Structure 1
Amino acid sequence: MKINKYSGCIVLIFITFCNILISCNKSEKINKNSNHSLQNPPIPSYSGINFQSIFTESDSRSANDSKIKVILNKYYKDVWETAKLSGGILVARGNNILLEKYSGYSNYDLKTPITATTPMHVASISKILTSLVILKLVEVGEINFDQKVNTILKNFPYSELTIQDLLTHRSGLPNYAYLTDKNTDKTTLLSNQDILNLFSNTQPELLFKRDTQFLYSNTNFVLLALIAEKITNTSFPSLVNYMIFKPLGMDHSYILQEKYVPYSTLSYYANGKPYNFEYLDLIYGDKNLYTTPDDLFRLSKAMFAPNFLPKNLLEKMFTPYSNEKKGIKNYGLGMRLMVFENGKKIVYHTGWWHGSNAIFIHLLDEKVTIIAIGNKYSRAIYSAINLTALFGDYPLNMEDLH
């Protein structure tokens, strides 16, 4: 698909027209298109998760919950309403939702309200799903963590790099966005394969020797999505649907593809101006998960379930791998971590792309989930991480909520 210099206006006009026609049932239409069965399933299917059996009554209830609800509602009023945030927030203990609210619009021209079924772009939170797909392929023996990337992506020019180097952002690969800015035709929508070809053709130097330091690079997860496709001979969007969305009942989630652009929630600058669709916007693995707080809550609950992934693999996902420098912040396998001196650990991921930003928090000890998603950029979305102090001995300042 070519994009000329007028494409931003054309795409916005097209999106607006299509939203007029289908805004009432867009998420349903997307899911009818995406939730198809694969001809040759790449891994054995599993029966899904019994969400009612994951948590005990004590997991879902606390004597302090009534007080916590008061604080959460005050937080929503002081932060979300004051900042006029556009999106949704959900806070839950076990199965018990303590706060769930939505505000703003998926399309400000049409005044289409954001609801519990409105999929929004969560950007780098997509890395959690990419990591889970890779872990499932490890589980069934299709790949292993120490496997060299070039044994799967044959024209990958860095023979020493492994799958784990990509998962932990310890590869030294530069961010593809900086390379494409200099070396590509910006009138053409790029694919994951285009990114691999760019690295193969230009062979930029690694920024450091593998596994010697941490550097967050979206390139790593673009390549992981390609690895999953090559191993299974299945498109990554279909693979995520088969492995995660369908068995978990994430009925309002999808990986962005060109056919979904007209139906997708728009992304806005802080001043309310919409972002134009651009040449990097169909690349996935590092971003392009559209989902809801409710669907991400189902994912969080699944990660507490005994039959979603083996315990040893989940523990690897939540293990800090970048320990060469002292500090609270670290990274697991597709998961950000805060590891405190008192032994407490926050497992989370943030996301930002264009005007969309989000945070997903998974508290292992307290079985608490905190999710905030916005489609009109505001750093206030990230303040949700301070809510962790309501649930455990996490040394974050509650005053920072404001």
Structure 2
Amino acid sequence: MRFILPLLLVLTFVSCKETKQTNNASSKLDEFLTGQEKYFRFNGNILIADKGQTIFQKSYGFADYNTKRLLNDSSVFELASVSKQFTATGILLLVDKGKLKLTDSLRQFFPELPYHNITIWNMLTHTSGLPDYMGIMMEKWDHNKIAFNKDMINFLATENLPALFAPGTKWEYSNTAYVILASIIEKVTRETFADYMAKNIFKPLQMTRTRVYNTRRSLKDTIPNYAYGFFYHDSLNKYMIPDEEPQMNFVIYLDGLQGDGIINSTTSDLLKWDRSIKNHTLLKEATQQEMVKGQALMDTATKKYYGFGVGIGKNDFGNIISHSGGWPGYVTYLARNTHTDQTFIVLSNNMSNSSTIALTLQNIVAGKEVVMPYEHKAIKLDSIALKTFPGKYKTATADILVELKDGKLFRTGGGSSIELIPESASKFFYGDGSDRQFEFELDENKKIKKAWVISAGIKTVIEKL
């Protein structure tokens, strides 16, 4: 008995310490996200889990800006390209059942398409070289008609567009490939993609609020507790749905396409999905391991790979399995750190930068220092003071050019130029409304000693070349 009491005291102490750390992290997470909502217009749902247990879950903002209906934990979001891992799993289930092989050719299923030697593996890994359907359909498709998968396939066959490159020789993201993969599922199973996914994935995992949903425009179907996607119209100074913007009207005439996006879900259902990948609930263990293994190199600088419907990479906290998604009105992100078994889900329905926010959340959970959001107020600096800062700066992954034009500083590159607005003699914020800053430490001669970029609270040292 004398040994049991000290053990209980130790366990109680450890439990209290862990609870205090969790509460502290939750407080900082909420402070950061509340600041993002207040100062940088973040709108969306967050879920963070540790070894499958939810440690933070909260909603920020509106499910519908027009009615001011608020988001809640059960709000349903369009996942955009986060959907690709579901399509990939649908294919791999058929592989496990012996109904498909990864080496099967695209033309076994659609001989009318003029693309030779493309395999299912190529399509899963974005190494197919298939042309982009979106660009050409935006140009040539009848915008008064809603396109479905069969329409896209017939369109590609009729247009006889050339392949972008020989299969397997290059990596290039392909929405076309994943639409075709969904169509292969339908051809093999003789079921609709929606029915197949519901029966074989969503229902077995009890993802009760998840479905294939692209019928709001094409069949006028609705979902309860739906988070409508909005974008901010700068000139009108208000949020609008993409349907109302002529430059985004492709959301209407491409509404019937499935496979590259169009899975709709909630943060809680996505945690169930994440656990199924971790525990290979649906797929054979060997098949699941192939899905989350680096199959094709995406980026030589970051050494990021693509598996089957997921990206495989590393950050400061270990190996990450992740995917982002973007579609007018929505930006989504789902990631799991395989070292810590921590899951980060960020779903935005106003096009906030979900993947950047998720990285900051990882830093907060890990106890790293984060610059909390605050209101930036511009001051005046004369051109003499500003002459200290122009030049080339180097980060771990990119070069940054800062230029002085007409008495103002600009960060240029990638075909864009963003004003850097002074808020002190040594700190500047981006003029595009994003949560990004440059900060400098100057010596007694007003020369730069140190420099940093700050992105969504993450402060990184940069070197002036």
Fold in common (TM above 0.5): yes
2:99 aligned partner: 142
Find the partner of 2:190 among 233, 236, 256.
233
Give 1:354's aligned amino acid.
P
The change in CA–CA distance for 1:398 and 1:93 in structure 2 (over 3 A counts) is: farther
Residue 99 of structure 1 is matched in structure 2 by 56
For 1:335, the equivalent position in structure 2 comes to 310
Give the Cα–Cα distance (whole angstroms) in 1 for the partners of residues 91 and 359 of structure 2: 27
Correspondence for 1:273 among 240, 244, 267:
240
Aligned equivalent of 2:422: none
Q: What is the rounded CA distance, in whole Å, between the counterparts of 1:226 and 1:393 in structure 2? A: 45
CA offsets 1:331-372 (integer angstroms, 9 cap, x no match): 1111022246x8932111101101111101122222211101
Q: Which residue of 2 aligns with 1:220?
A: 177
Gap regions ≥5 residues in structure 1: 1-57
Map of 1:21 onto structure 2: none
| 1:316 equivalenced with 2:283 (yes/no) | no
Q: How many residues align?
A: 342
Cα distance in 1, alignment partners of residues 114 and 311 from structure 2: 28
What are the residue-to-residue correspondences of 1:169-184 with 2, within 5 Å?
A: 169-184=126-141
Matches within 5 A, 1:371-382: 371-379=345-353, 382=356
Given residue 305 of structure 2, which amino acid in structure 1 is its aligned partner? N
Q: 1:311 to 1:390 in 2, by over 3 A?
A: farther
Q: Pick one of 293, 302, 319 that aligns with 1:345.
A: 319
2-structure distance, mates of 1:75, 1:325: 30
Q: Unpaired runs of 5+ in structure 2?
A: 1-14, 234-238, 244-250, 369-395, 398-451, 458-465
**Aligned CA distance change for structure 1 residues 324 and 192 (closer, same or farther; 3 Å):** closer
Decide which structure has greater helix share.
1
Where is the strand percentage greater, Structure 1 or Structure 2?
Answer: 2
How far, CA to CA, are the matches of 2:281 and 2:329 in structure 1? 36
> 8 Å contact 1:350–1:359 — kept in the other structure?
yes
* Distance (Å, rounded) in 1 between the aligned partners of 2:355 and 2:192: 32
Task: Answer 1 or 2: higher relative contact order, Cα 8 Å, separation at least 6.
Answer: 1
Q: CA RMSD in A?
A: 2.7
Q: Aligned in 2, Cα 1:399/1:308: closer, same or farther, shift over 3 Å?
A: farther
CA distance in 2 between counterparts of 1:334 and 1:160 reads 21
Distance 1:351 1:249 in 2: 23
Aligned sequence identity (%): 24
- Normalising by structure 2, what TM-score? 0.68
The aligned counterpart of 2:145 is 188
Query: How far does residue 218 in structure 1 lie from its aligned partner after superposition?
Result: 0.6
The answer to whether 1:120 aligns with 2:77 is: yes
Structure 2 CA distance for aligned equivalents of residues 325 and 83 of structure 1? 29
Cα 1:156–1:308, aligned 2, differ >3 Å: closer, same or farther? same
Residues 391 and 330 of structure 1: CA distance in aligned 2, closer, same or farther (over 3 Å): farther
Taking structure 1 as reference, are residues 311 and 326 closer, same or farther at Cα in structure 2, changes over 3 Å only?
A: same
What is the deviation of 1:245?
A: 1.0
Matched residue of 1:92: which SS? strand
Counterpart position of 1:82: 39
Alignment match of 1:356 (pick from 327, 330, 350): 330
In structure 1, distance between residues paired with 2:297 and 2:327: 28
Partner of 1:147, secondary structure, is coil
Letter of the aligned partner of 1:283 in structure 2? L
Contact 2:52 2:343 in 1 (8 A): no
- The structure 1 residue matched to 2:256, chosen from 276, 282, 285, is 282
TM-score (norm 1): 0.78
Q: Distance in 2 between matches of 1:375 and 1:312?
A: 36
